[in-house]
Amino acid sequence: MTMEGNKILNTATGLHSVNELLKKYVREQTLSHEEKRDLWLFYKSINDTNSLIDFAEAAAHENIDKLLSDANKLLEEAETCTAIYQDSEATLSHFEGKTASEWFEKPFKEAYQTESEKANALWKKYTSLSNHLDCMFYEGYPKEEIDAVDKECDDTLKEYNKQRVVCEQLYERYREELIRYSGLAYFDISLLNILAEKLVDICQSIIHDITRIKKEGGV
């Protein structure tokens, strides 16, 4: 059972970091964008608590004493989390993730908008040249002048088509970031308390089962 795969201990370690961030928010009433993201990412990664139960069942057959120790550590962190929330619910209720999500999305949005402006400028140039070319035919301009504008028109269209591909790629990247951070934008910090309460129940169940097994002379 490696440290990397120890879901109980890793969750306890992650929850300890979460608790420190919650304390910081209560104390300073602010967090950096990265810290807000970390709270959300922890919840997102641990929300499926069934994997913890599956891990505990397997770990009980490998090293039940280590499992008991880790479950106690996680229980302590989970109870600390619920205590922080219950003691400071009013302050924590002001937490919002939308500004953080917009901050992470901003570079992708700006990159798309910059290249989109270039594409729009090229399209305007192309349509202007195309309209001018039509007028040149009707007004009997010399062939060499018409050919020159016609070439510039074609070159501009080719440049626009290349730029449009760049814009489409950047927009898709921007859209991916919008989807990626949509959960952060609407993250309700009370979900961490609900998760911690679930972890308390799971840890208490693990500890109870191990205590019973030991009394019965099991694993």
Residue 131 in this model has a pLDDT that exceeds 60: yes
Any domain includes 1: no
Distance CA 95, CA 38 (A): 13
Distance CA 156, CA 152 (A): 6
* Containing structural domain, residue 104: 98-184
Q: How high is the mean pLDDT of the chain? A: 93
Residues 11 and 87 in one domain: yes
Residue 155 in this model has a pLDDT that exceeds 90: yes
pLDDT number for residue 1: 35
For the segment 183-201, the average pLDDT, to the nearest whole number, is 96
Residues 193 and 162 in one domain: no
Query: In this structure, what token pair is assigned to residue 215?
Result: 């009394």
Residues 33 and 140 in one domain: no
Residues 11 and 91 in one domain: yes
Residues 90 and 11 in one domain: yes
Q: Which of 23-27, 44-48, 168-172, 204-208 has the lowest mean pLDDT?
A: 44-48
Residues 124 and 61 in one domain: no
Report the domain count for the chain. 2
- Name the pLDDT band for 218 (thresholds 50, 70, 90): low
pLDDT number for residue 216: 78
Q: What is the DSSP string of 105-130?
A: HHHHHHHHHHHHHHHHHHHHHHHHHH
DSSP state of 47: S
Residues 108 and 176 in one domain: yes
Residue 4 in this model has a pLDDT that exceeds 70: no
pTM tops 0.85: no
- Name the pLDDT band for 219 (thresholds 50, 70, 90): low
Distance CA 55, CA 8 (A): 8
pLDDT number for residue 215: 83
10-64: pLDDT as tens digits: 999 999 999 999 999 999 999 999 999 999 999 999 988 988 999 999 988 889 9
Q: What end-to-end distance do the CA atoms of the chain give, in Å?
A: 16
Tokens 């609407």 belong to 186
Residues 119 and 62 in one domain: no
